[in-house]
Amino acid sequence: MDFLNNYLIYLIPVFGLIGILVMAIKAAWVTKQNAGDGDMATLAGYIADGAMAFLRAEWKILGGFVAVAGILLAWSGTTVATSSPVIAISFVIGAFLSAFAGYLGMRIATKANVRTTQAARTSLAQALKVSFTGGTVMGLGVAGLAIIGLGSLFIVFYQVYVVKVTGSTVNGEAMAKALDVLAGFSLGAESIALFARVGGGIYTKAADVGADLVGKVEAGIPEDDVRNPATIADNVGDNVGDVAGMGADLFGSYVATMLATMVLGREIVSHDNFGGIAPVLLPMVIAGLGLIFSIVGAAMVKIKSETDSVQNALNIGNWASIVLTAIATYFVVQWMLPSGEFHMVRDEVNGVVKATVIPFTKNGVFGAIVVGLVVGTLMSIITEYYTAMGKRPVLSIIRQSSTGHATNIIGGLSVGMESTVLPILVLASGIYGSYYFAGLYGVAIAAAGMMATTAMQLAIDAFGPIADNAGGIAEMSRLPEEVRHRTDNLDAVGNTTAATGKGFAIASAALTSLALFAAFVGVAGIEHIDIYKADVLAGLFVGGMIPFIFSALCISAVGRAAMAMVEEVRRQFREIPGIMEYKAKPEYEKCVAISTKASIREMVAPGLIALITPVIIGFAFGPEVLGGLLAGVTVSGVLMGIFQSNAGGAWDNAKKSFEKGCDINGEIFYKKSEPHKASVTGDTVGDPFKDTSGPSMNILIKLMSIVSLVIAPHLNSHQTATAARVQKEMNKQPMSIHMVVKAEKSV
């Protein structure tokens, strides 16, 4: 096992380097594809410029935030022994790498889009190859940077805090300090992810809703029509929201999952001296394996003819990477973890011996990983059912569109609410099962198993918006029907993968948050989070409310920005003569500016709520109430995330169903029919649900848990309401507090 301690730790960043190398090769390949000509190149240039303009504006704000937060962290790092000002450095590195991962993805996406359009002029197979390779670059970049960053920092902190101080003991305070400082990396990554996801989500939907409301509904021109002043902003939005935002989101999840598992791994090590450093390294090794097998899986995604199924090609690649990773993980677990049964025993606390004996075996750990994979798969399947065309939920919304806008909305809301049932049962079983196999470490490693093939998941996710953009460019450039037909084929698959990707993302966020939650409890040194206590219960209520206000801020921001967009588009149609006859060019840049400004302004409030609430609650009421708050945020956030994402997805596909015609009570309805108009209303309501507030829930719950984990060592005083009452009593009767006081009766 010396090999593990001495060498394996240095191998981890190598996995990341391999990923980045392959990424560079693929990026070079995409860049040298034909970028088209004339209008195509011009329009793609507008999109790329708009996307960069947004990123620059966002970075300006985030730079200030990172500086301020970094200084605060450095200062707070000096106040307790188990932390260090160095946490600020890992915070800044995490923030930078997260932003950089988003940038890389967006750069390649804004190149791959127009090249996909060009490729679609020749064949579907080539168009898939270009768009999916673009997605792969994004996936490998995110995973590679995460592993290099986390792995390298861990090597440094392990050397500085553990090896130098204690020789090479991996348990105890030294290791706790190394991991606490490392948590700054995750905090940095997740903070940027939140702003990128919320900002990008507001941007893309303000543009989308605004473009649709005036273009499709009022002016009667198709989506992505070059005459619509908001169309460039709409296409920019796909890149800043679905690509850069999603990339930063998964970067954050990926890092947070590994970190939480490492913290819990350390607890196993220090309680039982189980397996040396192996439980700490395991999540990073699994991630590394997942990255390598994502490269293998991605290479298997290809089609030969125009009639081959794109969805099947993606599924084959996806399953290959998951199955191969699972098999490899089995052998790695067998090799890394010791044989025999080990027992997690809760220590003696406050003079009370807790005799809970929990067996802990390497097969148990592998079992928990399998639970994670099963949960992720089931969540994707359920999400697809609730949002796919032709299935009961979407059909019910179509039927309810026949009686108007209101019943369409009622139908979508009820589908969204209903769609929480199965995912929650799966998740609850997953929590129960992974805990049964390997305790809280099991819950964390299950999340790590789910997240292992993040590179492949992200390749599939990012392929969607690239194909969407390619279709937009084809439409705007008025290319032949067959080109648009090919990009539509890719886009339709992209819509399905977007929905299943969201199911996967929410499941991983939930398990990650629970892992972080468990890590927080360990680091804060509390024994219970007892909701029978009034103040913990109050914390649970407040926590449950946060996803509601967060969602309200996100969707009202989209509503406001979309209205500004509508007014601008109406103004241009009114004041610039000749737009409708293709004689005058709309002022695209004005719409881009509206989305950019609105999204940057509106992302601040929700972001600050997520960051500051745990700090206030933690310091004012102590770690147990903060634990209640986190539980409330997680449960309510998962529910609101599933509800909103699925309602939005179902509305979207109900609307899309009208393109081929919908049979309602024997009558066929097409586009422009009254039921179709009702379905457009649902789709528009669903837009901010599924692309702004819904997916932001993932980051919200993770970020609040990470903030709590980072401040946990600072939360010493246990100020519960019970404690406050006891304190009040102690002031009066200082002698008798530890005895059972029999009060005098004066009756």
Q: What part of residues 704-733 is at the interface with a copy of itself (CB under 8 A)?
A: 721-722, 724-726, 728-729, 732-733
Which residue in the set 264, 415, 519, 703 belongs to the binding site for a copy of itself (CB under 8 A)? 415
Contact code string over 274-293 relative to a copy of itself, x by CB under 8 A: -xx-----------------
Token pair for residue 173?
A: 């305070």
The yes or no reply on residue 664 touching a copy of itself (CB under 8 A) is no
Q: Give, as ranges, the residues between 441 and 480 that touch a copy of itself (CB under 8 A).
A: 443
- Considering only 627, 641, 649, 713, the residue that binds a copy of itself (CB under 8 A) is 627
Q: Which of 345, 370, 492, 576 binds a copy of itself (CB under 8 A)?
A: 345
Query: What 3 state SS string does 251-297 have?
Result: HHHHHHHHHHHHHHHHHHHHHHCCCCCHHHHHHHHHHHHHHHHHHHH
CA atoms within 13 A on the CB side of 164: 9
386 vs 588, which CB is nearer to a copy of itself?
A: 386
CB 230 within 8 A of CB 565: yes
- When asked if residue 409 is in the footprint of a copy of itself (CB under 8 A), the reply is yes
Query: Got the DSSP string for 540-578?
Result: HHHHHHHHHHHHHHHHHHHHHHHHHHHHHHHHHHHHSTT
Q: Is 266 exposed, middle or buried (0-12, 13-18, 19+ CB in 10 A)?
A: buried
Q: Which of 668, 687, 663, 679 is nearest to 408 (CA)?
A: 679
- 32 binding a copy of itself? (CB under 8 A): no
Q: Please, what is the minimum distance in Å from the beta carbon of residue 462 to a copy of itself?
A: 27
Contact flag: residue 431 with a copy of itself (CB under 8 A): yes
Judged by CB, which is closer to a copy of itself: 326, or 555? 555
What is the rounded radius of gyration, in angstroms, for the C-alpha atoms of the chain? Answer: 26
Of 240 and 337, the one with the shorter C-beta distance to a copy of itself is 337
Residue 307 binds to a copy of itself (criterion: CB under 8 A): no
Q: How far apart are CA 381 and CA 164, in angstroms?
A: 49
Q: Crossing angle, helix 454-476 and helix 38-77, to 10 degrees?
A: 140
Exposed/middle/buried for residue 335 (C-beta within 10 Å: 0-12, 13-18, 19+): middle
- Direct distance between the N- and C-terminal alpha carbons of the chain, in angstroms, rounded to an integer: 72
Q: Where does this chain touch a copy of itself (CB under 8 A) — which range of 156-164, 219-227, 427-435, 453-461?
A: 427-435
Q: How far is the CB of 547 from a copy of itself (least distance, A)?
A: 9
| Closer to a copy of itself by Cβ: residue 363 or 403 | 403
Taking the least distance from each CB to a copy of itself, the nearer of 152 and 361 is 361
**Residues 6+ away with beta carbon under 8 Å from 392:** none
User: Are 465 and 497 a contacting pair, CB within 8 Å?
Assistant: no
Of residues 564 through 593, those in contact with a copy of itself by CB under 8 A are 566
Report the alpha-carbon distance of residue 448 to residue 508 in Å, rounded: 8
Distant-in-sequence contacts of 607-610, Cβ < 8 A, 24+ apart = 607/191, 607/194, 607/195, 607/198, 609/546, 609/549, 609/550, 609/553, 610/194, 610/546, 610/550, 610/699, 610/700, 610/703, 610/704, 610/707
How far apart (Å, rounded) are the C-alpha atoms in residues 59 and 73?
Answer: 20
Angle 124-157/87-120 helices, nearest 10 degrees? 170
In Å, how far from its chain's centre is CA 101? Answer: 14
- Contact between 352 and a copy of itself by CB under 8 A: the answer reads yes
| Sole binder of a copy of itself in the list 7, 220, 305, 355 (CB under 8 A) | 355
Q: Does residue number 747 form part of the binding site for a copy of itself (CB under 8 A)?
A: yes
Read off the tokens for 512: 């990650």
**Contact letters for a copy of itself, residues 310-339 (x by CB under 8 A):** ----------------------------xx
Q: How far is the CB of 114 from a copy of itself (least distance, A)?
A: 31
Please name which of 296, 433, 440, 456 lies closest in space to residue 378, comparing C-alpha atoms.
433
Query: Taking CB under 8 A as the rule, does residue 358 contact a copy of itself?
Result: yes
Closest contact distance (angstroms) between CB of 422 and a copy of itself is 10
DSSP labels for 660-677?
H-EEETTEEE-TTSHHHH
For a copy of itself, the binding residues in 203-232 under the rule CB under 8 A are 209, 213, 217
Among 189, 440, 493, 706, binds a copy of itself (CB under 8 A): 440
**Minimal distance in Å, beta carbon 314 to a copy of itself?**
30
From 62-70, 83-91, 326-334, 558-566, span contacting a copy of itself (CB under 8 A): 558-566
Does 342 sit near a copy of itself (CB under 8 A)? yes
Comparing CB distances to a copy of itself, the nearer of 53 and 417 is 417
> Which tokens belong to 623?
């770690």
Site for a copy of itself in 591-610 (CB under 8 A): none
Q: How far apart are CA 337 and CA 350, in angstroms?
A: 32
CA distance 239 to 470: 11
In the complex with a copy of itself, the residue whose CB is nearer, 14 or 353, is 353
CB 332 within 8 A of CB 286: yes
Give the DSSP letter of residue 219: I
Residues 143-202 that bind a copy of itself (CB under 8 A): none
Among 49, 391, 559, 576, binds a copy of itself (CB under 8 A): 559
Site string for a copy of itself, 235-274 (x = CB under 8 A): -------------------------------------xx-
Residue 72 lies near a copy of itself (rule: CB under 8 A): no
Least Å from the CB of residue 311 to a copy of itself: 29
- Least distance to a copy of itself, CB of residue 595, Å: 16
Pick between residue 170 and residue 301 the one whose CB is nearest to a copy of itself: 170
Asked if 230 and 591 count as a contact pair (C-beta separation under 8 A), the reply is yes
- The least distance separating a copy of itself from the CB of residue 104, rounded to whole angstroms, comes to 33
Q: Does 375 bind a copy of itself (CB under 8 A)?
A: no
How many Cβ atoms are within 10 Å of 576's Cβ, its own excluded?
15
Binding mask 83-122 for a copy of itself (x = CB under 8 A): ----------------------------------------
Q: Is the CB of 282 or the CB of 314 nearer to a copy of itself?
A: 282
Considering only residues 508 to 547 of the shown chain, the ones binding a copy of itself according to CB under 8 A are 514, 518, 521, 528-532, 534-535, 537-542, 544-545
Binds a copy of itself by CB under 8 A, chosen from 63, 222, 359, 525 = 359
Q: Report 637-656 residues binding a copy of itself (CB under 8 A).
A: 638-639, 643
What residues between 12 and 31 interact with a copy of itself by CB under 8 A? none
359 by DSSP, 3-state: which? strand
Compare residues 66 and 562 and give the one whose CB is closer to a copy of itself. Answer: 562
Closer residue to a copy of itself (CB): 7 or 532: 532
